[in-house]
Amino acid sequence: MCVNDAPVPVVTVDGPGGAGKGTVSSLIAERLGWHLLDSGALYRLTAFAAGKHGVALDDEAGLAEVAENLDVAFPVADGAVQTLLEGEDVTRAIRTEQAGERASQVAAVPAVREALLKRQRDFCQPPGLVADGRDMGTVVFHEAGLKIFLTASAEERARRRYAQLRQAGVDANLSSLLQEIQARDARDTQRSVAPLKPADDAVTLDTTRLSIPEVVEQLTELLARRGMA
């Protein structure tokens, strides 16, 4: 949990891209009536804003300044969450594979992580928070009441992403997607600051052969056993 004026329960859901954490987190938050933090969106937005303003990905000071001054909003329209950057709808633009690659590079910059840390913690508000990311349980909310680490094989995560892109009418190559996922995994797990790994007290769940409803059901049972649902 985190403490503002009063203790607020927190569930963290960490893991690599494609493990299902984003979908699962939003469903759990909706079921509980809690707030949702998509921390990955903040890194994607930082990378996107850096490109928009001509800041290079190796310019640590410039990236930190971009992160500190992000003009972002997450309004809900017709039941869907939008992502606005400086008033522009970038919901789809920040979800491309290239945007994910750039976000992974930005996330390895210590000054950017420091700049975004307080902003992420500010999402912790009553009645509770579900925080989705890569270091939510290890760094940002290390005292969370329930920490989940979702994983799946790289091959399965590439297959899922391929299916999503094809459904959206986007050309994709499964082999290339697998290589990109493996490269991103290596970068995220080997970075010196907040590497991707389960917290010592996290519950790890392999979703390779599980459907989203099955994952949500298992996590709901965990929440109930912890007295959080």
Task: Give tens-digit pLDDT for 83-103.
Answer: 889 999 999 899 888 898 899
> How far from the centroid of its chain's Cα atoms is residue 167's Cα?
22
Give the residue numbers spanning the domain of 200: 8-38+97-222
Query: Given this model, what pLDDT does residue 146 score?
Result: 96
In this structure, is residue 80 part of a structural domain?
no
**Residue 15, marked binder:** yes
Mean pLDDT over 158-164 rounds to 93
In this structure, is residue 109 part of a structural domain?
yes
**Residue 20, marked binder:** yes
pLDDT at 80 over 80: no
Task: Give tens-digit pLDDT for 201-225.
Answer: 999 999 999 999 999 999 999 999 9
In this structure, is residue 67 part of a structural domain?
no
Task: Give tens-digit pLDDT for 38-77.
Answer: 888 999 999 999 999 999 999 999 999 999 999 888 775 6
**Residue 23, marked binder:** yes
Q: How many distinct structural domains can be found in the chain? A: 1
CATH code at position 123: 3.40.50.300
**Residue 16, marked binder:** yes
In this structure, is residue 50 part of a structural domain?
no
Query: Given this model, what pLDDT does residue 76 score?
Result: 58
In this structure, is residue 65 part of a structural domain?
no
Q: What is this structure's pTM?
A: 0.85
pLDDT at 79 over 60: no
Strands, DSSP E only, in the chain? 2-3, 7-8, 10-14, 35-38, 72-73, 76-77, 80-81, 84-85, 88-89, 129-133, 146-151, 203-206
Phi, psi of 105 (to 5 degrees): -65, -45
**Residue 54, marked binder:** no
Q: Which residues, 6 or more positions from 93, have their beta carbon under 8 angstroms from its beta carbon?
A: 48, 99
* CB of 40 closer than 8 Å to CB of 134: yes
**Residue 17, marked binder:** yes
In this structure, is residue 74 part of a structural domain?
no
What Cα–Cα distance (Å) separates residue 223 from each residue in 66, 124, 152, 207? 37, 18, 21, 18
Q: Which residue has the higher pLDDT, 192 or 46?
A: 46
Phi, psi of 169 (to 5 degrees): 80, 20
pLDDT at 21 over 60: yes
CA 213 – CA 205 distance, rounded (Å): 14
- The single-letter code of the amino acid at 201 is D
**Residue 19, marked binder:** yes
CB atoms within 10 A of CB 173: 12
- Please, what is the average pLDDT of the chain? 90
In this structure, is residue 149 part of a structural domain?
yes
